[in-house]
């Protein structure tokens, strides 16, 4: 089963970093957030990826084409031709990465439609290239197989960006909660789709989160996997700093690999 990662957005709200690179290459602890997402899937046994490229997709291509040189020590013997020896620095899992240009302005549903030719299995997964979680992918897949519907979306309880106040009638603060969880559930990506979902996608202007998922929900074909654990999407510079702080202080919940 392949994992499609949407890597084509502009990342406009993270301009401090995305002015120089696509959002999936913005680093947490010296590694692109895309690497962190892929390590999560690979840890649970899914290591075949299809990256739907768009904005500055060439930089993502170059990252993987020169992955060994970027991530390991290497010795180069300047000869004809050059001889390069890569010195293994760790025991990263093997991964297969298919890089697909899905257009600079294509929307999320259109990007998934464009990678259809690279998906041969009955089921495939899709997620965004800017969100990390301590999600057990095996449980997600088992849940999807158990209900037999076309689509599963992972749902999380959203967290307020602000502290919440419990006020008495005279204005006295009875309680204060820093960034409490809000009521209800929100989509965080980490989808599992039956390949028949491709029939719901139509053209580059198709937005996955609108008509396709709305139609699936109305038909009873969309089920939510409720994840009570950690999820964090990197949309702003403040969130970029928060994720790096978690990683640099060894408090990163999404680091489920050794």
Domain ranges of the chain: 3-157+184-248
Judged by DSSP in three states, 45 sits in coil
Ranges of the chain with pLDDT below 50: none
Burial class (CB in 10 A: 0-12, 13-18, 19+), 149: middle
For the entire predicted model, the pTM comes to 0.89
Q: Look at residues 191, 237, 233 and name the one whose alpha carbon lies nearest to residue 213.
A: 191
Report pLDDT for 165: 59
- In CATH, the architecture of 3-157+184-248 is Alpha-Beta Complex (3.90)
DSSP lists the bridge partners of residue 110 as: none
Report pLDDT for 173: 66
Which token pair is 242? 């928060």
Distance of alpha carbon 139 from alpha carbon 133, whole angstroms: 14
Report pLDDT for 163: 64
Interval 138-169: pLDDT, tens: 999 999 999 999 999 999 988 766 666 577 77
Interval 8-19: pLDDT, tens: 988 777 888 888
For residues 134 and 229, the answer to whether their CB atoms sit within 8 Å is yes
């Amino acid at each position: 089963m392949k994992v499609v990662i949407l890597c084509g957005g502009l990342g406009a709200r993270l301009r401090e970093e995305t002015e120089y690179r696509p959002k999936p290459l913005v680093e947490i602890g010296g590694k692109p957030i895309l690497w962190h997402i892929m390590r999560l899937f690979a840890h649970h046994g899914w290591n075949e990826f299809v990256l739907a490229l768009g904005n500055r997709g060439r930089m993502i291509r170059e990252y993987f084409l020169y992955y060994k040189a970027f991530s390991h020590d290497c010795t180069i013997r300047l000869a004809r031709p050059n001889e390069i020896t890569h010195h293994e620095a760790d025991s990263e899992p093997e991964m297969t990465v298919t890089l697909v240009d899905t257009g600079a302005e294509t929307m999320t549903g259109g990007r998934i439609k464009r990678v259809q030719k690279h998906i041969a299995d009955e089921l495939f997964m899709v997620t965004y290239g800017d969100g990390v979680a301590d999600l057990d992918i095996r449980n997600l897949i088992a849940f999807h197989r158990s209900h037999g519907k076309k689509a599963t979306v992972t749902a999380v309880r959203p967290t307020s960006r602000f502290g919440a106040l419990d006020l008495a009638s005279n204005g006295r603060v009875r309680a204060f909660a820093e960034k409490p969880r809000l009521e209800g559930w929100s989509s965080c990506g980490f989808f599992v789709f039956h390949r028949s979902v491709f029939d719901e996608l139509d053209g580059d202007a198709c937005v996955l989160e609108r008509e396709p998922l709305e139609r699936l929900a109305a038909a009873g074909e969309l089920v939510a996997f409720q994840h009570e654990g950690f999820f964090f999407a990197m949309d702003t510079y403040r969130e970029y700093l928060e994720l790096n702080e978690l990683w640099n202080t060894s408090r990163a919940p999404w680091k489920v690999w050794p």
